[in-house]
Amino acid sequence: MFERVFDVDPSAGEAELRAQVEKLEQLKSAAAAAQARATALWAARRRAAEVAAGVPAKKRGKGLTSEIALARSDAPVCGNTHLGMARALVHEMPHTLSALECGALSEWRATLIVRESACLSVEDRGRLDAELCADVSKLDGWGNNRIEAEARKITARLDAAAVVARSARAPKDRCVTIRPAPDTMAYVTALLPVAQGVAVFASLTRAADTTVDERSRSQVMADTFTERVTGRPAEQPVPVSLNLVLADTTLLGDDEAPGWCDGYGPVPAAVVRALVSDAVADEAAKATLRRLYRHPSSGQLVAMESKARRFPKGLAEFIGIRDRTCRTPYCNAPIRHRDHAVPHHRGGPTSAVNGLGDCEACNYAKEARDWTVTTTDDGGHHRAEFRTPTGATYRSTAPPLPGPPIRTRSVMEDGLGIDVVRFSAA
Ligand SMILES: [Zn+2]
């Protein structure tokens, strides 16, 4: 599927290589413009086909944004942005599109212009498009910030009320997210209305101003943040549910294979052991141990089955531990649903093999017309194949469980122990 398109001449001189780097940069912009044209046309074709097939207006276009994202090897959640950007460029912003086509704008800078002008009417957007991009020589030397600022300035001049209305709608997007940082640290990010954001930061700064001990200001602010959110001192073990998956040998200190922390990722063995022993020592946190089994050759969890239509709790938990994140290729969103790959009403069993962990958006997308998902478990490798309405196929395989490489293990006959440790508040 992937092949090398361009070659670099190993004997080329510096000026030639610089020219090639420039040319390739232009090609990336031109490719982005062509991709936008193809995307907008694809959406129009799909719409025409659905109208012809009598698909009700409310159901049209279902799943298409996921198909677009998959075609770009991107997370399905980004498909909506790609389609919106393509439609805006092709139907509303011809000058921005030609600036992208000739390499005067990068894809990101075109995205900034589209984003900043999104609250305008089609007519005003056309005015901004002409003012900013009709003369591409003006864009020469403008960085991301300049582009964004100019687009914002024109937008505000053309329709100040729309900008105000957009700010009024923005708080609905407030959220808190987590992503891993190096060395077993994590970033917790809150997107807040400006007044609340400033208030949170000011409150933490005040705590730092009034605390004098051996900790740095940054450390006091971080500890205060943890204390106020969890309601417990920062140095105490985590009281709320924290799912860890680890091999029993790691727990006992026989090997140094990393464990897996739900919502974070791999955690070094020593840190896993410290988390477990803290939780066991802490009366308020209830630590429970449950044993599942790994397949001897693949390291994946061994299958379970149920007669019920809904996935029973144990099986649902099993699928969650096996899949870790949404199983759609390129989607790394947290799992919200345990879903039948082959739907229950078409005879799909409620089993580990036919079960998939999905995020909300992907669960919805794969129920669209002409999507099929098939799953196999071959020697403990759980694979899912997604076939989209245009006949493209995309695959994902469940990740192997934490633990040492199986060939080094001595006990093979009774399955290999995996301990699931869950800490929950009393
Ligand atoms: Zn997903």
Per-residue pLDDT for 426 more than 80? no
| Cβ contact 294:415 at 8 Å | yes
* Angstrom distance (rounded) from CA 244 to CA 63: 33
Per-residue pLDDT for 163 more than 60? yes
* Angstrom distance (rounded) from CA 5 to CA 28: 13
Tokens coding 35: 């991709």
| Percentage of the chain lying above the pLDDT 90 cut | 55
Q: In terms of Cα–Cα distance, which of 302, 290, 275, 317 is closest to 420? A: 290
Q: What is the CB neighbour count within 10 angstroms for residue 168? A: 9
Helix (H) or strand (E) holding 204: helix 194-209
Q: In terms of Cα–Cα distance, which of 361, 254, 352 is closest to 303? A: 352
How far apart are the CA of 44 and the centre of ligand 1, in A? 25
- pTM exceeding the 0.75 threshold for the entire prediction: yes
How far apart are the CA of 73 and the centre of ligand 1, in A? 13
How far apart are the CA of 209 and the centre of ligand 1, in A? 43
* Angstrom distance (rounded) from CA 337 to CA 236: 32
Integer-rounded Cα radius of gyration of the chain: 26
Question: pLDDT tens digits for 34-78?
Answer: 999 999 999 999 999 999 999 999 989 999 999 999 999 999 989
pLDDT score recorded for residue 227: 92
Name the residue with tokens 């040492």: 404
Average pLDDT of the chain, as a whole number: 85
Length of the chain: 426
* Angstrom distance (rounded) from CA 244 to CA 238: 12
- 252-265 per-residue burial string, b: 16 or more CB within 10 A, e: under 16: eeebebbbbbbebe
Per-residue pLDDT for 5 more than 60? yes
Question: pLDDT tens digits for 111-157?
Answer: 999 999 999 999 999 999 999 999 999 999 999 999 999 999 999 99
Name the residue with tokens 């413009």: 33
How far apart are the CA of 337 and the centre of ligand 1, in A? 10
pLDDT-derived band at 366, boundaries 50, 70, 90: confident
Lowest mean pLDDT among 50-54, 327-331, 376-380: 376-380
* Angstrom distance (rounded) from CA 357 to CA 340: 9
How far apart are the CA of 335 and the centre of ligand 1, in A? 8
CA distances 97 to 9, 143, 327, 422, Å, are 32, 18, 34, 52
pLDDT score recorded for residue 128: 98
pLDDT score recorded for residue 238: 58
How far apart are the CA of 300 and the centre of ligand 1, in A? 21
- Give every CB contact of residue 329 below 8 A, 6+ residues apart in sequence: 70, 73, 386, 394, 395, 396
Phi, psi of 188 (to 5 degrees): -110, 120
pLDDT score recorded for residue 416: 47
Q: What is the CB neighbour count within 10 angstroms for residue 281? A: 10
How far apart are the CA of 173 and the centre of ligand 1, in A? 19
- Stretch 381-389: mean pLDDT: 92
- Stretch 297-321: mean pLDDT: 71
- Stretch 247-265: mean pLDDT: 77
How far apart are the CA of 251 and the centre of ligand 1, in A? 32
| Cβ contact 127:90 at 8 Å | no
pLDDT-derived band at 303, boundaries 50, 70, 90: low
Per-residue pLDDT for 233 more than 50? yes
Residue 47 DSSP symbol = H
Per-residue pLDDT for 383 more than 60? yes
Lowest mean pLDDT among 22-26, 169-173, 176-180, 194-198: 176-180
pLDDT score recorded for residue 411: 33
Per-residue pLDDT for 89 more than 60? yes
pLDDT-derived band at 407, boundaries 50, 70, 90: very low
Lowest mean pLDDT among 94-98, 119-123, 262-266, 322-326: 262-266
Handedness of CA 132, 136, 138, 144 (dihedral sign): positive
How far apart are the CA of 65 and the centre of ligand 1, in A? 12
Tokens coding 142: 């403008």
- Stretch 237-248: mean pLDDT: 66
pLDDT score recorded for residue 424: 47
How far apart are the CA of 339 and the centre of ligand 1, in A? 12
CA distances 92 to 54, 126, 158, 322, Å, are 28, 6, 16, 45
- 3-state class percentages of the chain: helix first, strand second, coil last, to nearest 5: 45, 20, 35
pLDDT-derived band at 415, boundaries 50, 70, 90: very low
Per-residue pLDDT for 419 more than 60? no
Question: pLDDT tens digits for 184-203?
Answer: 889 999 999 989 999 999 99
Q: In terms of Cα–Cα distance, which of 196, 247, 218 is closest to 411? A: 247
